[in-house]
């Protein structure tokens, strides 16, 4: 039987419904936040707690975007390996950015505790697995590099000891970082939305922003549900960034990512697959990421590069199931119950970027690494808005690149080539 095309996480919580979030829009607010995911909600929480009036404007329902569809891994580091960040930006910037990633996991931990969000957050640790022996050689260097340059201790898991971390024979060892964590993403975004409302901000579903105009030094936002005037605007629209912020849209590539969830496994099998509950991802360009939740295997990957459509989701279920069985032959008779997709936001340099464009603040380009980082950047960009020092933010220290030769208007015509290129790299490397 085909799996249900439904986001499994949504079955584990009551997502913020439309009843309390379709109240009339206020005429004005100090800050209008566009996007009701981790970035927007975390920014709104920070601002509301400082007495700023905030309206969160979400096109769909609150948490509808990547924030309720992801793998729930709160990871240290960035999308780009830290050695590449170091080479590209130098020691000082790399150190600062890495520290932000550690602070981002702590930010999630603090918010979950302060706001009493029941989302199963814990420091489970993450395991990066080597698909080939030469990946393991690179991991040996990585362990030394992280210790030497960042004083950050990660542990090498040699191939002959990996059964203590993963019940699979596919890999050639791995790297373990015990600082990373995991959570249930939909429970987390729902808890954040409640915290935002409790702090006094208003949260508006079905309020797509269609136009932003500047009038007499203020912003007038036309939405599906009327207009609102704001002193400042913050954009947290991630892979769903559209033409209302055209200049930002042209810097963000939307890329699909897909996940399947199996039926509940028995305790013994679950323990065999991931004995210590780690968040796991592999070394490939076209990578897989997987973890357990409530004894279900949650297994994701970039089965296709395109943002989600019904047929893409159906095909992804088959591809991901095949890949899951390659990793875990033990799951060959296990039923896949759910499949869904979501959209990631990649900048052309695979870095996250924050800043201000014509008075509009933004935080974008998480590249599949945004559960903790969007929470943290939502907070710190909100603070920088208030303090007027966004240019000093560590993630504003490098250029937000546009497409080479300007060959991109927000429609990613090159994705089939990019997908093929990544598969090719996995093959030759």
Ligand X SMILES: Cc1cc2nc3c(=O)[nH]c(=O)nc-3n(C[C@H](O)[C@H](O)[C@H](O)COP(=O)(O)OP(=O)(O)OC[C@H]3O[C@@H](n4cnc5c(N)ncnc54)[C@H](O)[C@@H]3O)c2cc1C
Minimum distance of ligand X from residue 211's CB (angstroms): 9
369 touches ligand X (CB under 6 A): yes
Residues 286-345 that bind ligand X (CB under 6 A): 300, 342-344
DSSP 8-state class, residue 266: P
For the bound state, the minimum distance from the C-beta of residue 160 to ligand X, rounded and expressed in Å, comes to 29
C-beta of residue 368 within 8 angstroms of C-beta of residue 79:
yes
Nearer to ligand X, 66 or 331 (CB): 66
Q: Work out which of 162, 180, 187, 237 binds ligand X, going by CB under 6 A.
A: 237
Closest contact distance (angstroms) between CB of 369 and ligand X is 5
Site for ligand X in 389-408 (CB under 6 A): none
How far is the C-alpha of 372 from the C-alpha of 394, rounded, in Å? 16
Distance CA 222, CA 299 (A): 39
Residue among 261, 290, 239, 294 nearest 119 (CA): 294
> Minimum distance between the CB of residue 69 and ligand X, rounded to whole angstroms?
5
Angle between helices 185-198 and 91-114 (to 10 degrees): 70
Residue 40: enclosing H or E segment and its boundaries?
Answer: helix 38-49
Query: Within 13 Å and on the Cβ side, how many CA atoms surround 186?
Result: 17
- Whole-number minimum distance, CB 384 to ligand X, in Å? 16
Phi, psi angles (nearest 5°) of residue 395:
-85, 5
Least CB distance to ligand X at residue 306 (A):
13
Pick the closest to residue 231 from 242, 244, 215 (CA basis). Answer: 215
Q: Which residues of 101-129 are buried (b: 16+ CB within 10 A; e: fewer)?
A: bbebbebbbebbeebebebbbeebbbbbb
Of residues 52 and 372, the one with the C-beta less far from ligand X:
372
| Cβ closest to ligand X, residue 7 vs residue 136 | 7
Distance of closest approach, residue 137 Cβ to ligand X, in angstroms: 26
DSSP assignment string, 367-390: TT--HHHHHHHHHHHHHHHHHT-G
Assess 352 for contact with ligand X (CB under 6 A): no
The smaller minimum CB distance to ligand X, of residues 97 and 172, is found at: 97
Rounded Cα distance between 221 and 227, Å, is 5
Contacts with ligand X by CB under 6 A: the residue count is 43
Residue nearest to ligand X (CB): 370
Q: How far is the CB of 134 from ligand X (least distance, A)?
A: 26
3-state secondary structure of 277: coil
The distance of closest approach from Cβ of residue 182 to ligand X in the complex, given in angstroms and rounded to an integer, is 8
- Using a 10 angstrom Cβ sphere, with 0-12 exposed, 13-18 middle and 19 or more buried, the burial of residue 211 is exposed
- Per CB under 6 A, the list member of 16, 37, 301, 355 interacting with ligand X is 37
Assess contact for 234 and 362: CB atoms under 8 A.
yes
Radius of gyration of the chain (CA): 21
* Residue 189 or 331 having the CB closest to ligand X: 189
Which segment (28-36, 163-171, 190-198, 323-331) binds ligand X by CB under 6 A? Answer: 28-36
- Annotate each residue in 54-93 with x if it binds ligand X (CB under 6 A) or - if it does not, as one string: ---xxxx---xxxx-xxxxx-x------------------
Choose between 58 and 177: whose C-beta lies nearer to ligand X: 58
Q: Does 46 bind ligand X (CB under 6 A)?
A: no
Chain positions contacting ligand X, by CB under 6 A: 34-40, 57-60, 64-67, 69-73, 75, 208-209, 236-240, 242, 244, 257, 259, 300, 342-344, 366, 368-372, 374
């Amino acid at each position: 039987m085909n799996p249900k095309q439904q986001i499994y996480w949504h079955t584990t919580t009551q997502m913020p419904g439309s009843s309390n979030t379709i109240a009339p829009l206020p005429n004005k607010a100090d800050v209008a936040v566009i996007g009701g995911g981790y970035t927007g909600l975390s920014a709104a929480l920070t601002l509301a707690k400082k007495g700023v009036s905030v309206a969160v404007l979400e096109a769909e329902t609150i948490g509808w975007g990547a924030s309720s569809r992801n793998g729930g891994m709160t990871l240290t580091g960035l999308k780009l390996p830290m050695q590449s960040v170091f080479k590209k930006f130098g020691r000082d910037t790399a150190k600062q950015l890495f520290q932000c990633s550690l602070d981002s996991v702590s930010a999630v931990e603090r918010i979950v505790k302060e706001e009493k969000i029941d989302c199963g957050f814990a420091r489970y640790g993450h395991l990066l697995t080597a698909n080939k022996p030469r990946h393991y050689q690179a991991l040996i260097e990585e362990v030394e590099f992280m210790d030497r340059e960042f004083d950050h201790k990660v542990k090498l898991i040699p191939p002959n000891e990996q059964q203590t971390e993963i019940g699979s024979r596919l890999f050639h060892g791995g790297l373990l970082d015990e600082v990373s964590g995991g959570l249930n993403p939909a429970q987390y975004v729902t808890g954040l939305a409640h915290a935002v409302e409790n702090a006094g901000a208003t949260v508006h579903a079905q309020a797509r922003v269609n136009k932003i105009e500047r009038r007499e030094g203020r912003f007038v936002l036309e939405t599906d549900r009327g207009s609102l005037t704001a002193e400042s605007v913050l954009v947290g629209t991630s892979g769903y960034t559209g033409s209302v912020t055209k200049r930002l849209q042209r810097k963000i590539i939307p890329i699909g990512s897909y996940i399947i969830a199996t039926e509940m496994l028995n305790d013994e099998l679950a323990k065999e697959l991931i004995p210590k509950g780690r968040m796991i991802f592999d070394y490939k360009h076209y990578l897989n990421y997987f973890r357990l939740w409530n004894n279900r295997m949650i297994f994701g990957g970039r089965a296709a590069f395109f943002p989600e459509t019904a047929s893409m989701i159906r095909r992804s279920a088959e591809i991901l199931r095949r890949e899951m069985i390659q990793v875990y032959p033990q799951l060959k008779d296990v039923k896949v119950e759910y499949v869904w997709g979501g959209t990631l936001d990649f900048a052309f340099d695979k870095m996250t970027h924050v800043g201000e464009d014509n008075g509009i603040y933004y935080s974008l380009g998480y590249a599949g690494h945004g559960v903790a980082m969007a929470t943290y950047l939502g907070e710190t960009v909100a603070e920088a808005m208030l303090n007027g020092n966004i240019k000093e933010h560590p993630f504003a220290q490098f250029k937000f690149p546009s497409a080479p030769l300007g060959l991109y208007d927000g429609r990613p015509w090159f994705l089939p080539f990019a997908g093929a290129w990544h598969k090719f790299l996995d093959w030759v490397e």
